[in-house]
Chains A and B, each alone.
Chain A
Amino acid sequence: MRNEKELLELINVHLEPQAVEIKREQNVSVELAPKNLIQALSFLKSHSYQHLSTISCVDWLEEGAFELVYHLFSYDDYINISLKTRIKREPGIFQTAKEIWPVAEFYERDIHEFFGVEFKGNDNLEEMILENWQHLPPMRKDFDTREFVNDQYEWRDYNGQKHTD
């Protein structure tokens, strides 16, 4: 049973973090360079952080980066770690974590579908949620859903009044 501080010490010693932060009780956030991340995941997994909640992706359009966030949890420490890393938005390629957590394959597939991020080593990246999607990956910030909807669908006509925001 480690507390947050002991955990951060462990991370500082072993993982070369760019920044660490105790967000609040039982929640820790760690920023890492992309090259260290996969290694950090397997390190933490072997230190009781066996539970991968999910992988989130944030599109920082202005900074030209995708931020990948791996949420880990330990059944021993009861601490949630968010491991963050930023990769270049173009071309948006990263390593797969499939070898560490097989289930990551599907989280990565999801991110690939909605952000267009490629994961090297994960060859199962075909469409899963959408069907015949021909446009920009929809969760990217430069995809404008309202414009798309205006083009694709017709609004119901309420006596000349359009259905709007």
Chain B
Amino acid sequence: MDKSTQTEIFFGPNHPGVPGNYGIIYEFEGDTVTSAKANAGHLHRGFEKLMEERLWIKNTALVPRICVEEPDINEMVYAMGFEAIGEIEVPRRADYIRSIILELARIQGHIFSIGGNAAGIGQYTVMHWGTLTRDYILDIFEEITGARVYHIYIRPGGVRQDIEDETFDKILDLMDELENERFPDLEKTLFENPNAQKRWQGKAVITKEEAVEMGATGPVLRANGVPHDLRKMMPYAAYDDVEFEVPTYENGDAWDRIKIARDDMLQSIKIIRQLIQNIPDGPVQTDLGNGLKYKIPKGDAYVKIESKRGEYGYYMVSDGGLKPYRVHVRGASTPLGLYGVREFLPGTRIADVPVWAKSLGICPPEFDR
């Protein structure tokens, strides 16, 4: 390649088009990317090291910060790892509550990312509305857990506290409002908008083979017709008790992934309604004794759950001590954000680079850690 025909662009970290503090350095010719590489690591805090330095219980405060878009999955997967190694049973009501929290988190994450995607193609109205809608869910979180973003609510052995019935009613009201008012608005402004279709259809295509080969899951795979959902395949929490569908599409492009986000939210609403209807009574927490002295036997476990962007896994090792021996985080977008940028971004038009980055749900803190 003649060097003088190439132009280098630093797409991030300080660029309105990138998702978070993350960079893509790409070279382009004319208007097409010819080579690209990820410039990651701006958010590295050494979580895995810090977790080795903290008590089991203290880490529940640390884990949500790994992925700020969807913090609850971290709490959940951490608790699952702890319970798997320690072979701890969780009360059924806690399972239900966990699922409710996770689904609420999924909705807020999806609506936020739809807003972000819309902003990437210049539809700011949807971004504003989406962020507003998300705030209603954060209000519910605040009522349940006392915090807007980092809840520290799901913890080993169950959840921190029970949810009142009135709160359940509020959740149900909110679900009605979302379904009847917010989503139709979204449908009209975004999903029925010919321009949005034009910007997303056929863009940022990742095929099924490519996705499987690099280990991308979630919407990337489901947009290729593979109904892969860990909630169905390896049910955790209360997901074996609810009925829902896994939405799939066939084209593997940005448009399909965004439609999956929308359909996922509708499924989540369905799940939440079922969970609230069927929630059993009982305790919400197994007694594990003094929190500062939590100990589990030596062992290891790879636990994973379905985040909105795909498989989210922790590999946790305990040496029988007061602190974890090793925790390794497998973020859902790790393969895309590091490997996928180099392999699949070239050939994309520069106008579609933000579409690429945003529709694939790249969340840098989960691979910077």
The docked-state distance in angstroms from the alpha carbon of A106 to that of B41 is 13
B41 / chain A contacts, CB cutoff of 8 Å: 128-131
A102 / chain B contacts, CB cutoff of 8 Å: 213-214, 339, 343
> What distance in Å separates the Cβ of A87 from its nearest Cβ neighbour in chain B?
16
Q: Is A139 an interface residue (CB 8 A)?
A: yes
4 A-B pairs besides A23-B301, A56-B302, A128-B338 with CB distance below 8 A are: A53-B304, A73-B311, A129-B41, A138-B49
A129 / chain B contacts, CB cutoff of 8 Å: 40-41, 44, 368-369
Output the residue of A26, A50, A129, A131 with the most chain B CB within 10 A. Answer: A129
B343 / chain A contacts, CB cutoff of 8 Å: 102
> What distance in Å separates the Cβ of B83 from its nearest Cβ neighbour in chain A?
10
Select one of A73, A80, A103, A139 contacting B339, CB under 8 A.
A103
> What distance in Å separates the Cβ of A141 from its nearest Cβ neighbour in chain B?
8
Q: Please list 18 pairs of residues, one from A and one from B, whose beta carbons are closer than 8 Å in the complex, sorted by A's number.
A: A26-B234, A50-B212, A52-B215, A53-B215, A54-B328, A54-B330, A56-B302, A75-B212, A101-B215, A102-B214, A103-B213, A103-B214, A106-B338, A106-B339, A114-B48, A129-B44, A139-B49, A145-B50
The docked-state distance in angstroms from the alpha carbon of A12 to that of B259 is 44
Contact between A50 and B213, CB atoms less than 8 A apart: yes
Output the residue of A71, A78, A130, A146 with the most chain B CB within 10 A. Answer: A71
Q: Is B292 an interface residue (CB 8 A)?
A: no
> What distance in Å separates the Cβ of A21 from its nearest Cβ neighbour in chain B?
10
Q: Total A-B pairs in contact (CB under 8 Å)?
A: 98
Which residues does B use to contact A, with CB under 8 Å? 38, 40-41, 44, 46, 48-50, 53, 84, 212-215, 217, 226, 228, 233-234, 300-302, 304, 311, 313, 315, 317, 325-326, 328, 330, 334-335, 338-339, 343, 368-369
Contact between B213 and A101, CB atoms less than 8 A apart: yes
Output the residue of B50, B217, B338 with the most chain A CB within 10 A. Answer: B338
> What distance in Å separates the Cβ of B338 from its nearest Cβ neighbour in chain A?
4
The answer to whether A69 and B315 touch (CB under 8 A), given A27-B302, A75-B226, is: yes
Contact between A103 and B234, CB atoms less than 8 A apart: no
Q: Is A51 an interface residue (CB 8 A)?
A: yes
A105 / chain B contacts, CB cutoff of 8 Å: 339
Select one of A53, A106, A130, A139 contacting B330, CB under 8 A.
A53
Q: Is A24 an interface residue (CB 8 A)?
A: yes
Contact between A103 and B84, CB atoms less than 8 A apart: no
CB-nearest residue of chain B relative to A23?
B301
The docked-state distance in angstroms from the alpha carbon of A75 to that of B334 is 19
B338 / chain A contacts, CB cutoff of 8 Å: 106, 128
The answer to whether A80 and B317 touch (CB under 8 A), given A50-B213, A130-B41, is: no
CB-nearest residue of chain B relative to A129?
B41
Output the residue of B41, B212, B215 with the most chain A CB within 10 A. Answer: B215
The docked-state distance in angstroms from the alpha carbon of A138 to that of B313 is 22
The docked-state distance in angstroms from the alpha carbon of A143 to that of B52 is 12
Contact between B215 and A51, CB atoms less than 8 A apart: yes
A71 / chain B contacts, CB cutoff of 8 Å: 302, 313, 315, 330
A103 / chain B contacts, CB cutoff of 8 Å: 213-215, 335, 339
> What distance in Å separates the Cβ of B313 from its nearest Cβ neighbour in chain A?
6
Contact between B339 and A53, CB atoms less than 8 A apart: no
The docked-state distance in angstroms from the alpha carbon of A90 to that of B334 is 28
Contact between B214 and A56, CB atoms less than 8 A apart: no
Contact between B326 and A53, CB atoms less than 8 A apart: no
Q: Is A82 an interface residue (CB 8 A)?
A: yes
